[in-house]
């Protein structure tokens, strides 16, 4: 590679899939990268550039002169083009626009106006349309004229004079048909479509549900304005899953961040910001458990053995509650259950938790008996009685934590919130409080009054 | 619907997308369902049947006579057919086989032999192949003969006499080409493919990475044996994601369960089994923290104030550790970081955790000062000194928990384990132990000796 035999190099890597070329290029020094990048054709450059990370795209944008860059830019996929354009400063945007041809210019401005969380924000305008009165031969001719420069097409959309969507035909239909067949006879009218302002996750889920390769996107007048591709849908689904998981651990995501930013791209301070909000909120809520403990300080003073098993109670409750909330959050987000099922869910979780409580409190009983055999107990208390009360507290804690863990996501969804926010850290903190209340209520009632 | 005007009904719902027909049918009583189901053509029945839940499929299979069922079965997608066939008992399988035509019979037996976790287990054999020496006209003719009965095709694969994969062409290539063009000139040789025995997640991730509509699956001799479709890839990605999330909460998944079983389909006892394993293991590991506390019982006896802030230390450590482990597990599974980055990650997490520690220990200092202002302290200790030592313990706990949370998934991955197992519940239990050691070491060193 360092022998500067560029042509040989081009021959070798030019045959690889685009994404692998990108992976190789991203490892090069900037100088080499630009040299190798120049070896590719305009069309290849556009494809490669589209797959680069945001930072690298910006770097190359600054190195190339605007006229050369505009040629690459014009050949990019319309959605990737708009995404990149959105990241530029106003000044940079206006420095680029004059070099673009009129069609690309208006397309970029139009696409980048959509909110990146909407279907419009992830759609591309690279699709082919034909008219319902055409024959297959005329349709094929129109596609040949319209789309050789565009990336892969799968469906051909059939629109009327006003660009209102009538239906679609697949490329397979076109190939299997005779050239003299009418488009009208091939037309599928059972299409599904999303609106530009729909949430991008909704659009992605439709692609998943209906097993589509692309989903047509309509404006409010039912006119076809773009399509969302299956690969962009996968990206959205993966990104939303990451967001869900992070939310479940109390990690906030800032709105201004790109979906393709990985762990390494995010600075220490931004990682800190993402995590600190929830940790601090929970620490403040945690004051409540501090207050409760403070209230029972005398009880603790009298029976230090109670302090020894506090962590066990808190951990087990936290774990059981987190499990329940994870299962329910996932089931809600996959649509397996809805808010209306609340009673079925609560009843089911109650039965599950009773089984869990029996197991775990037996273990707790054995644990207390083994670990505290030499503890001095006040008054006439026996160790097995104390162990029994502690196990009972644990059993109640498991049941209540499981029901709280399952119930909170449903309540949050009921009020149109995102259930993922009440996952692990929140549940842990909440069941800590209920756990302490259960524990000390039982202890003061049955142990201290003796 | 109850007026028994079946033809009108068929006209209304027959126009909907298959999945919506399925949703309507699934809500009907069994009797009505069978009547409505009979209204559809053999091909429609096959599509609808393929989308039914496993239970409903089985119900219908038992209601129809084997000959009628075999006609539907033959028209199903090959992967859905094999999945259903795998669920039948040996007896049921052998009762069905004689009614199938030879081609379908051998195809079903072959496909259902693959492990359902492998690429072979999710692939379909519904694909079209052409030969490299054909012209476009000949290729289109072959496709017309081979595939009208099959579902959507996107790529046409080019194979040699031995069925070894040479490359592919897209339907778009075929449409844009002239009929006299040679397939050899259109051939894309930069294809990616997976092996039948590859993990199904690997195949799905390749489809995601290379933005494919379908991925060719080869046997060990490089012969093309099937394709994995983009929609099956999405299903796999979503299912693996659920599994990851559940694993992170210590929920085990049994191997014998179908991917399409939702929360409601799983019995109370199976939910219990899925959750109990980890809860019990953690309860047993939790004995270690019991032992540690037992060891420091005297210290607790002397200063009850220490007991009051134990939960705060445990919770904050657990939350910080869980966040770090979630972020790292996700980054590992998306390939954003690898085991080799361990030092960069550790260093980064250390800096993040120091920032978090400063925030959280300041809050802890304020908390102790506010809540315990009236606590009697032994000897010459001042409250601010005690609060300072507790905050210091918390700061150390946040840093160590974060580094443990980030480090454990990397270590597990290093030894080829699944990092998701060391998430929230495991981390919480582990950092509880380290937290108690830090807390009581500091306390005995700085508070009790005075």
* pLDDT tens over chain A, length 450 residues: 555 666 777 777 777 788 888 888 888 887 778 878 888 888 888 888 888 888 888 888 888 888 888 888 888 888 888 888 888 888 888 888 888 888 888 888 878 878 878 888 888 888 888 998 999 989 888 888 876 555 556 788 999 888 899 999 988 888 888 888 899 888 988 889 999 889 888 899 899 888 888 899 998 888 898 889 888 898 888 888 877 777 776 676 654 444 456 777 778 878 788 778 777 877 787 778 888 888 887 777 777 788 888 888 888 888 888 888 888 888 887 778 888 888 888 888 899 899 989 988 998 898 888 877 777 677 777 888 888 989 999 999 999 999 998 898 888 888 877 777 666 677 888 888 888 889 888 888 887 764
Chain B residue numbers touching A263 (CB-CB < 8 A): 327-328, 330-331, 336-337, 345
pLDDT at B314: 84
Best of A191, A243, A268 to disrupt the B interface (most B CBs within 10 Å) is: A268
Count CB neighbours of B69 within 10 A.
Answer: 18
Structure-block tokens of residue B424: 């929230």
A311 to B286: CB separation less than 8 angstroms, yes or no? yes
Residue that is written with structure tokens 């580094």 in the block: B403
The half-sphere exposure of B25 on its side-chain side, counting CA atoms within 13 A, is 29
- Whether A287 and chain B come into contact, CB under 8 Å, resolves to yes
Give which of A442, A443, A426 is closest to A318, Cα–Cα: A426
Contact B133, B158 (CB under 8 A): no
Give which of A160, A162, A154 is closest to A128, Cα–Cα: A154
Contact B238, A336 (CB under 8 A): no
Residues 53-72 of chain A with CB under 8 A from chain B are none
- Between residues B253 and B330, the one the model is more confident about: B330
Distance (Å) from the alpha carbon of A197 to chain B's nearest alpha carbon: 23
d(CA B219, CA B212) in angstroms, rounded, equals 20
d(CA B68, CA B61) in angstroms, rounded, equals 10
pLDDT at A260: 53
Contact B424, B322 (CB under 8 A): yes
Return the HEC string of chain B: CCCCCHHHHHHHHCCCCHHHHHHHHHHCCHHHHHHHHCCCCHHHHHHHHHHCCHHHHHHHHHHCCHHHHHHHHHCCCHHHHHHHHHHCCHHHHHHHHHHCCHHHHHHHHHHCCCCCCEHHHHCECCCEEEECCCEHHHHHHHHHHHCCCCCCCCEEEEECCCCEEEEEEEHHHHHHCCCCCEHHHHCECCCCCEECCCEHHHHHHHHHHCCCCEEEEECCCCEEEEEEEHHHHHHHHHHHHHHHHHHHCCCCCCCCCCCCCCHHHCCHHHHHHHHHHHHHHHHHHHHHHHHHHHHCHHHHHHCHHHHHHHHHHHHHHHHHHHHHHHHHHHHHHCCCCCHHHHHHHHHHHHHHHHHHHHHHHHHHHHHHHHHCCCCCCCCCCCHHHHHHHHHHHHHHHHHHHHHHHHHHHHHHHHCCCCHHHHCHHHHHHHHHHHHHHHHHHHHHHHHHCC
Chain A residue numbers touching B175 (CB-CB < 8 A): 140, 143-144, 171, 174-175
Structure-block tokens of residue B450: 């005075």
d(CA A66, CA A97) in angstroms, rounded, equals 9
d(CA B118, CA B121) in angstroms, rounded, equals 5
Contact B171, A175 (CB under 8 A): yes
Query: Rounded mean pLDDT of B334-349?
Result: 85
The helix or strand, by DSSP H or E, that contains position A46, with its residue range, turns out to be: helix A42-51
All structural domains of chain B, each given as residue ranges with its CATH number in brackets, are: 6-113 (1.25.60.10), 122-229 (3.10.580.10), 263-448 (1.10.357.20)
- Whether B145 and chain A come into contact, CB under 8 Å, resolves to no
pLDDT at A151: 58
Best of A216, A263, A365 to disrupt the B interface (most B CBs within 10 Å) is: A263
- Mean pLDDT for chain B? 82
Which whole-number Å values give the CA distances from A52 to A47, A116, A236, A374, in the listed order?
9, 19, 18, 66
pLDDT at B245: 74
Give which of A58, A119, A109 is closest to A82, Cα–Cα: A109
Which whole-number Å values give the CA distances from A202 to A205, A215, A236, B261, in the listed order?
5, 11, 10, 22
Return the HEC string of B33-91: HHHHHCCCCHHHHHHHHHHCCHHHHHHHHHHCCHHHHHHHHHCCCHHHHHHHHHHCCHH
Give which of A388, A381, A323 is closest to A361, Cα–Cα: A388
Residues 69-108 of chain B with CB under 8 A from chain A are none
Chain B residue numbers touching A171 (CB-CB < 8 A): 154, 171-172, 175
Complex ipTM value? 0.71
The helix or strand, by DSSP H or E, that contains position A108, with its residue range, turns out to be: helix A102-111
CA-CA-CA-CA torsion sign (B292, B295, B301, B306): negative
d(CA B202, CA B195) in angstroms, rounded, equals 10
d(CA A216, CA A196) in angstroms, rounded, equals 10
Q: Nearest by CB to A425, from B262, B291, B319: name it.
A: B319
Burial code (b: 16+ CB inside 10 Å, e: under 16) for B131-165 equals ebebbbeebbebbeebbeebbbbbbbbbbeeeeeb
d(CA A328, CA A442) in angstroms, rounded, equals 30
Residue B312 has pLDDT above 90, yes or no: no
Contact A105, A60 (CB under 8 A): no
A171 to B176: CB separation less than 8 angstroms, yes or no? no
pLDDT at A97: 82
Give which of A212, A180, A175 is closest to A193, Cα–Cα: A212
Q: Nearest residue of B to residue A374 by CA position? A: B294
Give which of B281, B363, B246, B347 is closest to B315, Cα–Cα: B363
Pinpoint the alpha helices (H) of A128-192.
Answer: 136-146, 171-176, 183-186
Categorize the per-residue pLDDT at B151 as very low, low, confident or very high, splitting at 50, 70 and 90: low
Contact A361, A309 (CB under 8 A): no
DSSP code of residue A263: G
Contact A432, B432 (CB under 8 A): no
Contacts A–B by Cβ distance under 8 A: 345
Give which of A317, A394, A420, A398 is closest to A352, Cα–Cα: A398
Q: By three-state DSSP, how is residue A227 classified?
A: strand
Give which of A420, A399, A394 is closest to A408, Cα–Cα: A420
Residues 374-403 of chain A with CB under 8 A from chain B are 375
What DSSP assignment string belongs to A358-419? HHHHHHHHHHHHHHTTT---STT--HHHHHHHHHHHHHHHHHHHHHHHHHHHHHHHHTT--G
Q: By three-state DSSP, how is residue A128 classified?
A: strand
Give which of A309, A424, A433 is closest to A371, Cα–Cα: A309
pLDDT at A414: 86
Contact A176, A194 (CB under 8 A): no
């Amino acid at each position: 590679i360092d022998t500067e035999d560029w042509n040989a190099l081009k021959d070798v890597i030019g045959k690889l899939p685009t994404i692998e070329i990108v992976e190789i290029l991203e490892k090069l020094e900037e100088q080499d990268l630009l040299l190798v990048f120049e070896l590719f054709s305009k069309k290849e450059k556009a494809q490669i550039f589209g797959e680069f990370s945001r930072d690298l795209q910006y770097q190359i944008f600054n190195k190339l002169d605007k006229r050369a860059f505009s040629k690459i830019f014009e050949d990019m996929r319309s959605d990737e083009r708009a995404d990149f354009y959105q990241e530029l400063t106003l000044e940079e945007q206006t420095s680029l626009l004059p070099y673009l041809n009129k069609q690309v210019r208006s397309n970029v401005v139009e696409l980048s106006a959509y909110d990146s969380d909407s279907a419009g924000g992830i759609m591309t305008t690279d699709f082919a349309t034909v008219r319902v009165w055409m024959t297959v031969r005329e349709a094929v001719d129109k596609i040949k004229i319209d789309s050789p420069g565009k990336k892969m097409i799968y469906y051909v959309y059939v629109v009327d004079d006003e660009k209102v969507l009538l239906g679609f035909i697949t490329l397979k239909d076109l190939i299997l048909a005779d050239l003299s067949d009418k488009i009208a006879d091939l037309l599928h009218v059972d299409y599904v479509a999303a609106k530009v302002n729909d949430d991008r996750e909704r659009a992605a889920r439709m692609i998943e549900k209906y097993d589509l390769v692309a989903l047509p996107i309509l404006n409010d007048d039912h006119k076809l304005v773009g399509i969302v591709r299956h690969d962009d849908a996968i990206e959205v689904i993966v990104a939303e899953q990451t967001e869900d998981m992070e939310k479940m651990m109390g990690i906030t995501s800032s709105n201004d961040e790109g979906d393709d930013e990985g762990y390494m791209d995010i600075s220490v301070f931004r990682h800190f910001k993402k995590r600190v909000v929830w940790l601090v909120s929970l620490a403040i809520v945690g004051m409540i458990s501090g207050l409760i403990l403070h209230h029972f300080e005398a009880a603790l003073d009298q029976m230090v053995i109670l302090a020894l098993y506090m962590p066990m109670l808190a951990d087990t409750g936290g774990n059981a509650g987190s499990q329940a909330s994870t299962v329910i959050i996932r089931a809600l987000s996959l649509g397996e259950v809805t808010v209306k099922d609340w009673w079925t869910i609560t009843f089911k979780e109650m039965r599950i938790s009773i089984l869990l409580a029996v197991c775990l409190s037996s273990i707790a009983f054995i644990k207390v008996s083994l670990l505290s055999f030499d503890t001095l107990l006040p008054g006439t208390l026996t160790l097995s009685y104390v162990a029994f009360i502690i196990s009972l507290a644990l059993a109640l804690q498991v049941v209540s934590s499981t029901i709280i863990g399952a119930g909170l996501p449903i309540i949050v969804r009921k009020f149109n919130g995102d259930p993922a926010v009440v996952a692990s850290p929140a549940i842990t903190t909440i069941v800590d409080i209920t756990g302490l209340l259960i524990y000390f209520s039982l202890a003061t009632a049955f142990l201290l009054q003796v």
